[in-house]
Amino acid sequence: MALNMKGRNLATLHDLALEEMQEIFKASADLKRKHKAGEATPVLKGKTLAMIFQKPSTRTRVSFEVGIYQLGGTGLYLGPNDLQLNRGETIEDTARVLSRFVDGIMARVFSHNDILTLCKHASVPVINGLSDLTHPCQVLADLLTITERRGELKGLKMAYIGDGNNMAHSLMLGCAKVGMHISVAAPHGYQPKAEIVEWAREDASATGARVEVTTDPVAAAKNADIIYTDVWASMGQESEHSERVNLFQPYQINAGLTAHAKKDYLFMHCLPAHRGEEVSAEVIDGPHSIVFDQAENRLHAQKGLMALLMQNET
């Protein structure tokens, strides 16, 4: 019997049980198959999703807007000039007001505390479209993509090499939940937050996964099934770009580093990518790269998630 996730929030993957993540993957794969076959799936007919964007986006906006449309609903874009959280109106009041109008809220914000406040005060499901702490929807898409390629997630090893940012946090939490080993390599001062490492190891204790943090990119890449990276300077860190490029140079994903991974390794990147910085062109544009499969699966994974959280009464 399918799990009932109606009305749930998604702030971080730590909030989900393994069975709930598996239910999301199952729903996502089913909706993707039907979409590819040309079948309509209006499971959210008449539903409206408010999409709050404090910062601009390509993949997040398009995938959620197209996704809710394909499910029979409507997406309402609320950009920085349309809705100013914590300025003209408190986040608490925004959550309460929007809950009277819409059936779900997706928010892409700067501060994770804004997500938590929305979750606390909204009476409809809230989905974290990205915060400074985590990016759970991206990792749901990533794990769906790996499942398509490898079949089984448990026991695989992921190497995340680069900035210990919100992507590193969510990958640690996601891998730990599904029993994947993960090794994060980042320089001192740029490693994942200790609280997130603790959460991940707590989840890993139930699945047998290993969660490692190191400064050595070669050690992380050794025998990896998947190598993953992200930009070295995220949105809002432009002033640090030159400093970060110099510091992170030994962490570039290139042929020399990927030689330590398994021969059939997969390369992943959440995009946008800067060729010649965090990854060489020969890797991201080479035969091991599945970055555009990842990008497509943002659509399908988020459709599965929305269908479960915003489902109509049966």
Give the active site residues: 108, 135, 138, 230, 270, 298
Question: What CA–CA distance (Å, rounded) separates 172 from 123?
Answer: 29
Number of alpha helices (DSSP H) and beta strands (DSSP E) in the chain: 12, 9
Q: Specify the pairing of strand 211-214 against strand 181-185.
A: parallel
Question: What CA–CA distance (Å, rounded) separates 185 from 169?
Answer: 12
Question: What CA–CA distance (Å, rounded) separates 274 from 307?
Answer: 34
Please list the residues that pair with 130 across neighbouring strands.
Answer: 108
Residue bearing tokens 């809002």: 236
Alpha helices in 179-290 (DSSP H): 194-207, 217-221, 241-248, 255-258, 281-284
Asked if residue 125 has a cis previous peptide bond (ω within 30° of 0), the answer is no
Kindly tell me the burial class for residue 269, based on how many C-beta atoms sit within 10 Å of its own C-beta (0-12, 13-18, 19 or more): buried
Two tokens, residue 312: 């109509």
